[in-house]
Amino acid sequence: MRHALEEAGLAPRTGDVPVGAVVLGPDGVVIGRGRNEREATGDPTAHAEVLAIRDAAKAVGTWRLTGCTLVVTLEPCTMCAGAIVLSRLDRVVYGARDEKGGAVGSLWDVVRDRRLNHRPEVIQGVLADECSALLTRFFRSGDFGARPHVG
């Protein structure tokens, strides 16, 4: 989670919400990194999880991330939960819950829906206070979404 928090800390430089993610290979080594880049790129799909999954898939040379773990500072949304299922990640570890849009246990539980063909293990609440504090500081600062698209 410390690696994901480092990524999250870089996101506000471009006006992005501080969410960071890493993908760990089966041996525990970081093989993918991502942080929110929607403001930086003007891409609505540029969530930390999606970017980390893309990075990991490129690193291993396949879209199947079997044996891998996604670690993210904020509970994934429905789009990211879908990407988690489709990439066949074995595990999702997240910090802060997202009561307004979380899709891994809070508002929805997409990744554990028994109708799907793949259901990763979920571990929640890892360094939750630190992950939440980063988001709270960002939104209290009022310095978000004000930067122009730079991509």
| Active site residue ranges | 49
131 labeled binding residue: no
80 labeled binding residue: yes
The torsion region of residue 40 among left (phi > 0), alpha (psi -120 to 50) and beta comes to alpha
Angle at 78 between CA 74 and CA 82, to 5 degrees: 105
Give the CA distances from residue 133 to residues 9, 82, 95, 111, in Å, rounded to whole numbers and listed in that order: 11, 27, 11, 26
Distance CA 90, CA 27 (A): 13
Compute the Cα dihedral for 96, 1, 78, 113 and give only its sign: negative
77 labeled binding residue: yes
Farthest-apart Cα atoms in the chain, separation? 42
Residue numbers belonging to the annotated binding site for Zn(2+)? 47, 77, 80
Residue numbers belonging to the annotated binding site? 47, 77, 80
